[in-house]
Structure 1
């Protein structure tokens, strides 16, 4: 706001020159900041935002907050890939069974166990690029996390913060019904971090393999996050050109209207 005012008001321009107006990291305003931004002597105040305890930013160390801030346009990272980590985070493993029996770590903040999936199910992660994603067999996932949290799996960053880290205490089991393989089944959103798009069948496969179009079933996931970070399932967001291929506008159902938060004026 002060930046826009600076074009016409010399006082605002002066305030912009000598006062920190914005930060790349959310949650850095600790108290009211007075800004002399008007010729008439009035004051402009920048105040702290509302603390949301259910977001990832509320549970990580303040020095790790920059890792949660997107630095560029979000681009999804899809799994499975041909390279799959073994129990020590390196090496290759046969992935002919798709995602079944694997766990995916999103930094040290999220773990997704795939209990049941269609052979061509794909998970696409949208979030900060600084959080690396690692995929390991579920039977070695506990050991892998204990060994690599604070090292390969960050945040938390460093041994000292990892020793104080309470771990991924919240667990939610998801049973996602697949009704149309030509569009994503849903998004699994992690509050304050990003979301995971659940695609029952790869779009490349649906365009080339007609037998895949008749596939249906369920995807069963277990998602682990720090307490009290929220996990919620929503309709998939149409992202990029591929989203335009399957997105269709529809009205809310009666149940969705009933569950929708009510606004009172």
Structure 2
């Protein structure tokens, strides 16, 4: 850092926010001693990296949105990253309108979390169809994992093919792995760890645009994650969020259900098998999330008396409140169907003509799709 630079020129290399050393409780604070280092990180990123401790931020949703909406003024390749375990919850509505005429590459991260029974080709085709249904016409759709490295090199090579000398903007909702992806690019190109972008499983880690020079005087830009308020992560305490966040490959759990039986996914979601032949219901959620089966006639009382205690998360001992659950009704056709709870997981059902009632917190999206499993 040159002697002519002032504090106002410094930005955190972890989250991109402007550095200040006057107000410890405000965004961008770093002690004066930290400003003498070649690479400066704010206190928030330091605590997050070394102690896995998240500090609340005061940047409002509309500030994040304003940065995103400015993309239509750029001449760039837009790389839209989604979480393959939570595509609906991590989807940015109206993205085609926001990016204007810029080309888009759609990348689904965290494919390492999917069970080995997942059909990659079927999954990619479904991803393209879902994008089309949402009004997005990407040049391509690809799968990757920044944890296992599956597909990462292929995505990087595809970006280089598609950008045609333009800047590259990496966009997406919070916690889809944008910064992890850029860190992977830096690591593959021999950059030191001190220059890496701060990442975590907490929403809203990147706070400003982070500009990384490319070799042809263009830039790779990490953008703040937009917050989708219907994602279940934003309703939960850190302990609950940890319990529902997959860390390893999802291990499917099979339940044989008859009519008038109920499954609870902790105290956060519920499925009632109303009508149909006895069938297998395969649950794909974080391995630490407790699943409870009961009779439908007992389900209301069980939820009222045991949500947050037996049915966890949420955790009443942490002072966390239980949620009002909203009902959704689906009729299942001949094809195997996934019932998807945004941010939580999905349940595979194959029972032609069955009637299913599912419940989730009213803020959380629930949807169905053709099953992504072979």
TM-score normalised by L of structure 1: 0.63
Q: Aligned pair in 2 of structure 1 residues 165, 67: CA closer, same or farther (>3 Å)?
A: same
Structure 2 residue 353 is matched with structure 1 residue 218: yes
Structure 2 residue 301 is matched with structure 1 residue 143: yes
In structure 1, the gaps of 5 or more residues are: 81-97, 201-216, 244-265
Q: Aligned pair in 2 of structure 1 residues 137, 57: CA closer, same or farther (>3 Å)?
A: same
Equivalent residue for 1:188? 339
The RMSD of aligned alpha carbons is 2.9
In structure 2, the gaps of 5 or more residues are: 1-181
Equivalent residue for 2:327? 171
Equivalent residue for 1:198? 349
Structure 2 residue 214 is matched with structure 1 residue 48: no
Query: Structure 2 CA distance, aligned partners of 1:77 and 1:58?
Result: 26
Structure with the larger helix share: 2
Encode CA deviations 1:20-73: one digit per residue, 9 max, x unaligned. 6322x151406238688899xx99875431111222112222442222221111
Query: Structure 2 CA distance, aligned partners of 1:229 and 1:127?
Result: 15
Alignment: residue pair count: 193
Equivalent residue for 1:107? 266
- Whose RCO is larger (CA < 8 A, sep 6+)? 1
1:249-260, aligned counterparts within 5 Å? none
Structure 2 residue 186 is matched with structure 1 residue 5: yes
Query: Structure 2 CA distance, aligned partners of 1:18 and 1:4?
Result: 12
Secondary structure of the structure 2 residue equivalent to 1:218: coil
Equivalent residue for 2:362? 227
Contact 1:102/1:114 (<8 A) preserved:
yes
Secondary structure of the structure 2 residue equivalent to 1:54: coil
Query: Structure 2 CA distance, aligned partners of 1:44 and 1:158?
Result: 44
Encode CA deviations 1:106-149: one digit per residue, 9 max, x unaligned. 11111111111203x11111121111110011111111112221
TM-score normalised by L of structure 2: 0.46
Q: Aligned pair in 2 of structure 1 residues 7, 122: CA closer, same or farther (>3 Å)?
A: closer
Query: Structure 1 CA distance, aligned partners of 2:288 and 2:244?
Result: 8
Q: Aligned pair in 2 of structure 1 residues 38, 225: CA closer, same or farther (>3 Å)?
A: same
